[in-house]
A and B are shown apart, each in its own frame.
Chain A
């Protein structure tokens, strides 16, 4: 099973999704992320989905779940690098990802976290 690496940058955890997400790897990512949040006391999570070209309701729900998990540890989630086609699909699916903040790219995502901290 492929794993998604979680990188710590300062007080932020950086997750870049570059594989096709399966149920198992998603569960693993959510567990790993929770562990890391506890271990590092990070205040923000950046999820980079630049490489994600296809989304479905499953991935949409996963992103929302990660947002909820992070909030339990008082960390804010920022979703960055969404492609236009992906945004259109999510809108058509009726998923507006309330509770998850979004930014155009990783740089702006970091700014957003640091600005609000």
Chain B
């Protein structure tokens, strides 16, 4: 960000009126934030920015530009995390233009320099917006990863029987994750029956069926038998219409049926006794 020497006069002028400009800037920003940050806090942030802007305008040191960008990056990231809108974030920078403009109207000969200053502020504003967008995208990516983790629990139903309640659409990435977790749990618990419950899977098409079959055959290689449960009437209808064959894989209507099936297969029985 090269600043020509003609900004020198403007810089001196802005330094002399620092209190007035920062005061007005704070006012404008606070109005935009609608009371979500305290006045003292905002003022401190803006004073930091202002002194960095002045340092750049004087052209004295080269680090100032980097520092200013770093400070702005930090500021827009925290705004993005705290749920401020893009306008509110960018306004923080653009409000300085307004504040300075009000000052310049008193000194008409500074207008050409004001234009250069304005261009610099536009650059900074764009930078703020870009960082804000990047921070938001990061948040979305983190949330997606967290959701993926959350949506694939493997639970132990009984001695030797584990269950995977599948909720949401089953795509390749999730199938991979489910498969890995299921197989790891099979090895860790030594279970020989696994129930894949698809009550929470909205639709079962050929792709989803393919993924289920893959998971079942991987579990079979480890010596575990899989049961698919939670097939809703509409889903059953779709499966038959599409001609999907589950082959010799046991399918049950409910998780309870699947558990009963697994217990019978492993030679266990639950008997009704007198309540304790």
Contacts and interface: CB of A to CB of B under 8 A. Distances in A.
B192 A87 contact: no
A105 B180 CA distance: 18
Given A102-B222, A104-B223, A87 B183 contact: yes
A96 B215 CA distance: 11
B221 A102 contact: yes
Given A91-B214, A105-B190, A84 B183 contact: yes
Given A88-B180, A91-B214, A104-B186, A82 B221 contact: yes
Interface string A68-100: 000000000011101110111011100011000
A113 B190 CA distance: 17
Consensus secondary structure, chain B interface? helix
Classify chain B: how many residues form its interface, as a range.
10 to 19
A103 interface: yes
B186 to A, nearest CB: 7
Interface residues of A, number: 22
Interface of A: 78-80, 82-84, 86-88, 90-92, 96-97, 101-105, 108-109, 112
Interface of B: 176, 179-180, 183-184, 186-187, 190, 192, 214, 217-224
25 contacts: A78-B223, A79-B223, A82-B221, A82-B223, A83-B187, A84-B179, A84-B187, A84-B218, A87-B183, A87-B218, A87-B221, A88-B176, A88-B183, A88-B218, A90-B218, A91-B214, A91-B218, A91-B221, A97-B221, A103-B223, A104-B187, A104-B223, A105-B190, A108-B223, A112-B223
